[in-house]
Amino acid sequence: MASFLIIGGDGIIGHALKARLQSEELEYVATTRRRLSENELHFDLATDPDHWPELPKAEVVFFCAAATKLDACEDNPEATRLINVTHMQALAAHVQSYGGLVVFLSSNQVFDGSKPYRKADETQCPVSEYGRQKAEFEQWLSKCPTPSAILRLTKVITGRLPITEAWQEKLESGAQIEAFDDLTFSPLPIKSVLDGLMLIGKQKKTGIFQLSGRKQLSYYDIACKLAVKMGKDIKLVTPVSAKNAGIRPQFLPRYGTLDCSTMADIAIAEIDCLG
Ligand SMILES: NC(=O)c1ccc[n+]([C@@H]2O[C@H](COP(=O)([O-])OP(=O)(O)OC[C@H]3O[C@@H](n4cnc5c(N)ncnc54)[C@H](OP(=O)(O)O)[C@@H]3O)[C@@H](O)[C@H]2O)c1
């Protein structure tokens, strides 16, 4: 049996996890929907489980694949639920049938954003379709007789936020920029996510775990930090409302932080998202 299987090795987290396993010289196989390379096999969660390829058995299976776009979940709840819930359940049942550990990546969006630093054992109360799908799968997994691991994350940051490139160009030329002051998130460095996944995977930990940025930032906060870093006047940054710009209100939680005491050994650096 392989040690580790990554379902969805091309996403932000799956890709970084492959690199981490490689750097630790640990054996793994990853699934892809793209062109195959070494240690990879084709797998599409949207297809009928009766037609799935034979997946290699692994002691630990990281569930990194998902329909992750919030709007797509809201607009196509049936198609995304098939991937995020129904077929995810079929996959988890298969992994558990041979004794593999399911490590499911979940989100702070299983909560409604009305309270900061939600504890891992609080009752889920999602307000978005994405959050409802995550919560539904979590509940199903928690009721399985075989224990598994659920790791809830806030927004994972791998470097510089892409929007800061455009802001920088404008600020350099002395132009005004606009940034949402009601769209907030708790930036969580990818390194902490990988540390958490490795801890769970190596020690075969089970239960509900949470990793969260310590602080909550708005896009306006980040734009102001950028202006200051560039030596520009922060009056060049105008706060605007994401709600007024048409972002769905269920995507604008007041609070997004999670209590991290279930992962107390994992260091979480404070980051400004400016790279
Ligand atoms: N990144 C975050 O800030 C964050 C925060 C909280 C929770 N999470 C959770 O962590 C997990 C990984 O997130 P991520 O940011 O790495 O997501 P991502 O970058 O959107 O990657 C998702 C991966 O899932 C794959 N995928 C989508 N539909 C699939 C299907 N039908 N069959 C097989 N694979 C499929 C994608 O394949 P393609 O590459 O071919 O499209 C991609 O590799 C997700 O469950 C997400 O909900 C992420």
Structure token pair of residue 83: 């991937």
One domain, residues 36 and 131 = yes
Residue 110 lies in a domain: yes
| CATH, residue 119 | 3.40.50.720
Structure token pair of residue 260: 């991290």
How far the first Cα of the chain sits from its last, in Å, is 39
Q: Closest ligand 1 atom to the C-alpha of 83? A: 31
One domain, residues 135 and 67 = yes
Is the entire prediction scored with pTM above 0.85? yes
Pocket residues for ligand 1 (CB within 6 Å)? 8, 10-14, 33-34, 43-46, 64-68, 83, 105, 107, 153, 155-156
At residue 210, the 3 state secondary structure works out as: strand
Residue 178 lies in a domain: yes
Structure token pair of residue 181: 């002051």
Q: Closest ligand 1 atom to the C-alpha of 156? A: 3
With beta carbons less than 8 A apart as the criterion, state whether 211 and 196 touch. Answer: yes
Distance CA 19, CA 134 (A): 26
Helix count and strand count (H, E) for the chain: 8, 13
Q: How far does residue 65's CA lie from ligand 1's centre (Å)?
A: 4
Q: How far does residue 45's CA lie from ligand 1's centre (Å)?
A: 11
One domain, residues 105 and 69 = yes
Residue 81 lies in a domain: yes
One domain, residues 41 and 151 = yes
Q: Closest ligand 1 atom to the C-alpha of 130? A: 47
Please give the residue range of the domain that contains residue 37: 2-157+188-213+257-263
With beta carbons less than 8 A apart as the criterion, state whether 120 and 79 touch. Answer: no
Q: pLDDT tens string for the chain (275 positions)?
A: 779 999 999 999 999 999 999 999 999 999 999 988 888 999 999 999 999 999 999 999 999 999 999 999 999 999 999 999 999 999 999 999 999 999 999 999 999 999 999 999 999 999 999 999 999 999 999 999 999 999 999 999 999 999 999 999 999 999 999 999 999 999 999 999 999 999 999 999 999 999 999 999 999 999 999 999 999 999 999 999 999 999 999 999 999 999 999 999 999 999 989 98
Tally of structural domains, the chain: 2
Cα distances (angstroms) measured from residue 153 to each of 56, 114, 240: 27, 17, 27
One domain, residues 72 and 169 = no
Q: Which residues contact 46 (CB under 8 A, 6 or more apart)?
A: 79, 82, 83, 87
With beta carbons less than 8 A apart as the criterion, state whether 273 and 213 touch. Answer: no
Residue 272 lies in a domain: no
Number of C-beta neighbours around residue 30 at 10 A? 25
Q: Closest ligand 1 atom to the C-alpha of 69? A: 20
One domain, residues 123 and 167 = no
Q: Which residues contact 19 (CB under 8 A, 6 or more apart)?
A: none
